[in-house]
Each structure stands twice: as structure tokens, then as C-alpha cells.
Chain A
Amino acid sequence: MNRIWCEREADVVRSLRTGSLSAELRDHVLSCVVCAEARGAAQVMLHTASLLRVEDGLPAAALVWSHARARKRESDLKRATRPLIVMRVLSVAYVVLSAAWFLRYLWRSGFMELPAGWNVLGNETTCFAVALAVLAIVIAAGYLLHDSKRSGAGLPST
């Protein structure tokens, strides 16, 4: 089976980068397929790197800094308003669900019998509303906890 690495490879590459390949390393390269390939590949990369003069076109640090600061402010603002958006969505969902439940109850009991069944409606509505409110609070609290953990973690991009 082919060897996929050699312990002298790092030395060979270091020598090529500094431009001083010793006679001993040169002999080793002649007898080692891995290091011979590494030398060929390293020459390609180092030659390409030598053709690039990035100093000429390096963006100014001040420009990158101001751009990054603006992005950070934008990101902080987005992070701060995210819980409000979630709460708004939850409140809309709460109202819609409550209204749907109420309309369903009216449909089933009939409009004419409504006064007679008002107590039942009151009890059930209260229980349902309380359950929904608790659910909404639990979801919101869970989200806020998750968001605060994530925003402090400083994870790199995907």
C-alpha cells in the first residue's frame, strides 16, 4: 500500500520555504515518493504565492474596522429585537387559537342555548386561556434562555 505521509515531509517543506534544501534532505527526497510529491506540490504553491503581491491591494484597516463596527451594531440591534418579534408572534398565535376555540364552542352549543351554557363556557375558556398563556410563557422563556446562551458562545461560521 502507498504511504500517505512521511515524517521528513515537514522538514522538506520548511527547507523549500526558506530556500535551503540541504544535501541530506535532497538525497532523502530522491528516495522518498511522498517527499518527492510534496516537493512538486510545494513548488506549485510557493511559485503561485510568489506571484501575488497582496500588499498593493490590501484594504485599509480603518475601512474594514468601520465596516465591521457597523455590522456589529446591526447584529446587536437584531439580537435585541428578536425576543420582541417572538413575543409578538406568540401573542398573535394566542389570540388566533383563543378565537378559534371560542368560535368552535359557539358552533357546537348553538347561539340560542348560549345563555344557559354560559357557566361552562366561562370555566372552559378560563382553563384553556390559562393553559395557552402558560405554554406561551414556557416557549418564550425557553427561547430567551437558548438565545442568550447562543449569543455568548461566539461560535465560528458553519
Chain B
Amino acid sequence: MTRFALPLAIFVVLLVLLGIGLKLDPREVPSPLIGKPAPHFELPELHQAAKTFSERDMLGKVWVLNVWASWCVSCREEHPVLLDLAASGAVPIYGLNYKDKREDGLAWLRGMGDPYRLSIYDFDGRVGIDYGVYGVPETYVIDKAGVIRYKRIGPLTPQIVKEKVLPLVQELDRA
């Protein structure tokens, strides 16, 4: 009897392992950027191509950088969360419009609402490479000294905003 139960026993161990595995995120690669200064960029704004924006403009403030694109379906899902976060006034959000057509990006913000103080326009994805963008959307929290403190790959959810982003922003604001 016991020897016939062996496969079942192994299977149960396997199930436990897989169950734990589900809780882990293999994509949660510890980003080498956390704790490092945000890479430098100077890019044109989405709305006004003549004006540029740089991460240095934000020194002394805690802010959120969100990578988005009009072709990104997950961004659509994330958008209401960003609108809520922006409306709460807890932290300024800046957008990085990634590998997009300018008119598509603008139309998207017009149609869906614009949670961003402003969006910068990264047509060829250069800045995305510096920031190690895996996919869209991604979100970074950057502190007053211009150091990246948090990175999220994939859409923000209300839960993540409540449990991770907001407490971190409050802590950084106090610092």
C-alpha cells in the first residue's frame, strides 16, 4: 500500500511548492536601479514639443514617474488608479509616453483623462533603456535627492497604491 502512495506523496509536495511559487513573482527581479540616482534624461514634453523636461527639475520633491503608451492595454486597466492617485494630491505623477505616436498619445489622454502633471515623449525608447523598462506600464517612485526608491513592473492596482506607494511617499515626504 505504502509504495503505491509514493506518487501521491510526491505530488502533494509538488503542489505545496507550486502553491508557494504562485505567491512569488519571477519578474520581481530586484531592480539594480533601486537606491541609485534616477538616470538623467532631457526630453520634449508631449503637449508642447518645444519645451523639455528633465528629472533634475524635480530635485527636492518626491514624485512618481509612470511609463505608459496608447497601444498598451494594461495601461487602460491602470489608468483609473492613476487618476484616483492624482486626484488625491498625495504625490505628483509625471508620465513617460513610451514608443508612441504623439497624436495617439494626446488623443488617449483627451479621451481617458490626464492624471499627469505633464508627460514627456520618448519616441525611440532611449530613456526607457536607461531606466530598464521591461514592458509598459512601469512605475517609479523617486525621492527628493533624485534617487529611485521603488519600481513596479506592470499595472498599479489600488492595493499596491495603498500598501506600497502611499506609505513610501509619506515616509519620503517627511525625510
Q: Are A and B associated in one complex?
A: no
List B residues at the A interface (Cβ < 8 Å): none
